[in-house]
Amino acid sequence: MRDFVFPGGTAVVTGAASGIGEALAYGLARRGADLVLLDRDAERLDAVAAAIRVAHPDRRIDTHLVDLADADATDRAATELRRRHPRIRLLVNNAGVALGGRFDQVTLDEFLWVIEINFRSVVRLTHALLPALKAEPGAHLVNISSLFGLIAPAGQTAYSASKFAVRGFTEALRHELVDDGVGVTSVHPGGIRTRIAASARVGSGVPREEFEAGRQQFEKLLSIDPAKAAEVILRGVRRRRGRVLIGWSAKLPDLLVRLAPASYGRILALGTRVRMPAGRTAPEPVAPGPERSA
């Protein structure tokens, strides 16, 4: 498959108002792509679009305000996108949310909220826009999974379930779309400095002090600039990489799970355990995943 060509094509990016999505929007505009940007945060989305229009007045920038937790709203947005953009060269399903808490500490509604945004909206948008991708020669699909689509630590049942689902969905699509000439990339970011930890929900049954201890642990890992992550992703797209891992915080756990697929949890527990007064040990951190927010 030939290298991906950015100039002159239309790129759709979800979760484009901040974090990796915002950085991808800037990077795509610099590479000559027209943009369709989706997010639920109207103020931030408008600011991103305005900044890109100033820096790249020759780019076409279209924005759509949508809450991907609302299945009907997501379907309506997808239908409108397909009507207005019958040929799409790149679709990046980036939007995501996090929920801190073990399975027995979260409600079913809280769990399914994560699944709806992180996985089902990816399926909905991809299903609706796949004909537009197939209609554009040299098109490409990018789904942002996670470090927690490679490993599944305690306290991340909902998030890991959603991101492993994205990974499996993406890998199957990669095999299915070969003959259509559509490239497919699964992305697994490690510790990216975004708003996801600060904006995550806390499971109803999680003690606040337990969540805060875990959140502080994870925030120490958020060291990679979103702009750097976006550049790694876009280089992977250009080269048609099937899988992109960002940072050693993703690459080392990927190696760990290959070496110890059934026992890596004990190693993770040793690495993330928080020391408490009087020699007591805190529970497993239940803070959110380390990448980005919707």
Q: Which residues are catalytically annotated?
A: 159
Buried b (16+ CB within 10 A) or exposed e, 214-251: bbebbbebbebebeebbebbbebbeeebebbbbbebbe
* DSSP letter assigned to residue 239: T
| CA pair distance 35, 168, nearest whole angstrom | 27
Provide DSSP, 175-223: HHTGGGT-EEEEEEE-SB-SSHHHH-EE-TTS-HHHHHHHHHHHHTT--
The DSSP 8-state label assigned to residue 3 in this structure reads P
Strand partners, 264: none
* DSSP string across 241-276: -SEEEESHHHHHHHHHHHH-TTTHHHHHHHHHPPB-
Length of the chain: 294
The whole-angstrom separation of Cα 29 and Cα 53 is 9
CB-based contact 286:213 (threshold 8 Å): no
Q: What are phi and psi of 155, to 5 degrees?
A: 85, 5
Question: Cβ neighbours of residue 269 under 8 Å, at least 6 residues apart?
Answer: 154, 284
